[in-house]
Structure 1
Amino acid sequence: MPIKIGDSIPSLTLQKITDDAPASITTESLFGGRKVVVFGVPGAFTPTCTRNHLPGFVENRETIRASGIDEIVCVSVNDHHVMKAWAKDRDALGKITFIADWDCAFTKALGLDADLSAGGLGVRSLRYSMIVDDGAVTALNLEDNPGQATVSGAAALLEMLGD
């Protein structure tokens, strides 16, 4: 069952992409006592993720942060090499926090996994965005169509933050 508003983020250790080797970070340290925007994408370098989803968060990061957000996190079911290459390719390393959910553990714990084998991708993340405040989900935006990034995009999230 997918995570919902009011639920707490499960306790896990994640792989955060850095300039050097990936760094382990717990969900408690990432989300505890902080307000964080998280967006999940089906795959680094995939067309919608690269052209439509990630760019909005990179371009609007200062406005999002000025709305009381401590960090913007991108999660994808990819290994750390792919995530680092994608972050560098998109000039987003250091601007957005990239999490390599290489084994799909975080995505599955959230109940936001999907079998995209028909498209040659295997088990991946649904496309979503959410706001996490001190470890609890306060907003969750799930895309109906993984080929679109409207409901879960930065523009929609900014509207929510402006309310």
Structure 2
Amino acid sequence: MASSVNNIAATFATVAISSSSSSSSTPATTPPSTPSSINPITFSHPISPQPISASWNPQTTLHRSQRSSLLSLYGPPGPKPFPQISTVHPSPIIRRSKTISVGERLPNATLAYLDRNDNLVTMNVSDLTRQKKVVLVAVPGAFVPVTGSKRFVTGFLQKAEEMKMKGVGVVACVSVNDVHVMKAWGERLGVGERMMMLSDGSGDFARAMGVLVDLGGTSEGFGIRSKRYSLVAVNGVVKSFLLERGDVDDILNLL
């Protein structure tokens, strides 16, 4: 039995030596390269596999040379910055802490209206009042019955020709409403060419006059509006000013 085991061991030793000798004596053959074979690209700094994670930061895990390549292609990590938004600057209208007074110049705000062809027309107050006498009537809102706006404006409308006979060049009604509302209200009142219906849509003119009032506490949705007033201005300077009082007859007596 012992001799059999020795014979088997000797046989395996002979096979191992001969295999080693033949493998060392036979040169290794390299398969011929073909045009279709592709040599793999070896990075000098191999990238270790990383699990997909929203918190993975290539700035801390990649070599500097690889970070530079990625930054040039994709930019820095993190969300892209928001595009710059141009800042809208408010119009340079003076904000008064008190109501305008007689002897002061009307603020040069921009008012607007729709002409008979529904074209939008804008004008500065200085252009409206230059070299002429103007009667300006303001109400909290068009089509508002509870404020007496219709009765107030109708009185000036009925005596517009009489005021023009006293040298008034323009009779105008202004309200913090849009141009479409003001035109529709003018058509309802039948103003024609007797009175201009001007929109102070953003309330800039009322604010600069010191007559802006917040009526937003009601369910009607009035919001920011103008107080009711009437005034006479000559070449842009206030000559008479009646706030929340008076009517067309009072203005006629002041002309």
Residue 123 of structure 1 corresponds to which residue in structure 2? Answer: 224
Residue 77 of structure 1 corresponds to which residue in structure 2? Answer: 176
- State the superposition RMSD in angstroms: 1.2
Larger Rg: 2
| TM-score, normalised via structure 1 length | 0.89
Q: Give the C-alpha shift of residue 102 in structure 1.
A: 0.7
Preserved CA contact (<8 Å) 2:113 2:182: no
- Counterparts of 1:92 and 1:7 in 2: how far apart (Å)? 29
Letter in 2 for 1:7: E
Q: For residues 6 and 135 of structure 1, do their structure 2 counterparts lie closer, same or farther at Cα, with a shift above 3 Å needed?
A: same
Deviation sequence 1:48-99 (CA, Å, 0-9, x none): 111x111111110011111111110100000011000000011013220111
| 110-119 vs 87-96, greater mean Cα deviation | 110-119
Preserved CA contact (<8 Å) 2:215 2:225: yes
Q: Give the C-alpha shift of residue 22 in structure 1.
A: 2.5
- Counterparts of 1:123 and 1:153 in 2: how far apart (Å)? 24
Residue 147 of structure 1 corresponds to which residue in structure 2? Answer: none
Give the 4+ runs in structure 1 shifted more than 3 A. Answer: none
Deviation sequence 1:117-150 (CA, Å, 0-9, x none): 234311101000000100100110001xxxxxxx
Preserved CA contact (<8 Å) 1:39 1:152: no
Tell me, yes or no, if structure 1 residue 155 matches structure 2 residue 252: no
Q: Give the C-alpha shift of residue 111 in structure 1.
A: 0.8
Letter in 2 for 1:156: D
- Counterparts of 1:133 and 1:16 in 2: how far apart (Å)? 22
Preserved CA contact (<8 Å) 2:175 2:226: yes
Residue 102 of structure 2 corresponds to which residue in structure 1? Answer: 5
Tell me, yes or no, if structure 1 residue 135 matches structure 2 residue 218: no
| TM-score, normalised via structure 2 length | 0.58
- Counterparts of 2:252 and 2:115 in 1: how far apart (Å)? 26
Tell me, yes or no, if structure 1 residue 22 matches structure 2 residue 123: no
**SS of residue paired to 1:53:** helix
Preserved CA contact (<8 Å) 1:77 1:125: yes
Note the residue ranges of structure 2 that are not aligned, 5 or more in a row. Answer: 1-97
| 97-106 vs 10-19, greater mean Cα deviation | 10-19
Letter in 2 for 1:138: K
Q: Which structure's relative contact order is higher, taking Cα pairs within 8 Å and 6+ residues apart?
A: 1
Note the residue ranges of structure 1 that are not aligned, 5 or more in a row. Answer: 144-150
